[in-house]
Chains A and B, each alone.
Chain A
Amino acid sequence: MTTLLQVNHLNMRFGGVVALNDCNFQVEKNSITALIGPNGAGKTTAFNCITGFYRANQGQLHFFPPNRPSVNLIQLLGQPFTWTDPIHPRRTLKKLGYKLFGGPHRIARAGIARTFQNVRLFKEMTVLENLLVAQHRQLVGHFLSGILNAKNFRKAENNALDHAMKWLAFFQLTTEANRLAGQLPYGHQRRVEIARALCTDPILLCLDEPAAGLNPQETKALSQLIRRLQKELHLTILLIEHDIGLVMELSDHVIVLDYGEVIAQGPPAAVQQNQKVLEAYLG
Chain B
Amino acid sequence: MELAILAQQTLNGLILGATYGLIAIGYTMVYGIIGMINFAHGEIYMVSAYVTAIFLAVLHYFGLANVPLMLLAVLLATMFVTALYGWFLERIAYRPLRGSTRLAPLITAIGLSLILQNYVRLSQGARSQGIPSLLQGSFAITLGNDERLVQITYVQTLIIIVAFLSMAILTVIMHHTSLGRACRATEQDRIMASLLGIDTDRIIATVFVIGAAMAAIAGVLVTLNYGSFDFHIGFVTGIKAFTAAVLGGIGSLPGAMLGGLVLGLSESFFSGFVNADYKDVFAFSLLVLVLIFRPSGFLGHPQVVKV
Contact = CB atoms under 8 A, between A and B. Distances in A.
Interface of A: 51-53, 101, 103-105, 107-109, 113-114, 116, 120, 122-125, 129, 132-137, 139, 141, 143, 146-147, 153, 156-157, 160, 196-197, 200
Contacts of B200: 103, 105
B178 A120 contact: no
Interface residues of B, number: 28
Contacts of A139: 178
Nearest to A193: B192
B188 A123 contact: yes
A152 to B, nearest CB: 12
B184 interface: yes
Given A103-B200, A124-B306, A133 B195 contact: no
14 contacts: A52-B195, A105-B196, A122-B189, A124-B305, A134-B196, A135-B178, A136-B181, A136-B182, A137-B197, A141-B178, A141-B179, A146-B178, A153-B177, A157-B178
Contacts of A137: 197-198
A108 to B, nearest CB: 4
A125 B181 contact: yes
Nearest to A129: B181
Contacts of A113: 195-196
B185 interface: yes
Contact of B191 (A53, A101, A123, A196): A53
B16 to A, nearest CB: 27
B122 interface: no
A264 B199 CA distance: 37
A89 B144 CA distance: 80
Contacts of B182: 133, 136, 141
A196 B181 CA distance: 14
A160 B177 CA distance: 12
Give 8 nearest A-B pairs by CB, closest first.
A108-B197, A146-B177, A139-B178, A104-B194, A133-B185, A141-B178, A105-B194, A134-B196
Q: Interface centre among A108, A125, A136, A197, by most B CB within 10 Å?
A: A136
B178 A103 contact: no
Interface string B140-184: 000000000000000000000000000001000100011111101
Given A103-B194, A120-B189, 8 more contacts: A103-B200, A105-B197, A105-B198, A114-B195, A124-B303, A133-B193, A156-B178, A200-B196
B189 A133 contact: no
B185 A122 contact: yes
Contacts of B306: 124
A108 B169 contact: no
Contact of A108 (B181, B195, B303): B195
A136 B195 contact: no
Contact of A134 (B180, B197, B199): B197
A143 B182 CA distance: 12
Contacts of A200: 196-197
A125 B178 contact: no
Q: Interface centre among B179, B192, B200, by most A CB within 10 Å?
A: B192
A53 B189 CA distance: 13
A197 B196 CA distance: 7
B254 to A, nearest CB: 14
Interface string B120-132: 0000000000000
Contacts of A103: 194, 199-201
B262 to A, nearest CB: 24
Nearest to B303: A124
A141 B182 CA distance: 10
Nearest to A132: B181
B173 A136 contact: no
Contacts of B199: 101, 103, 105
Nearest to A202: B197
B196 A108 contact: yes
B196 A146 contact: no
Contacts of A101: 199
Contact of A125 (B169, B173, B188, B191): B188
A135 B188 CA distance: 17
B139 to A, nearest CB: 30
Contacts of A104: 191, 194-195
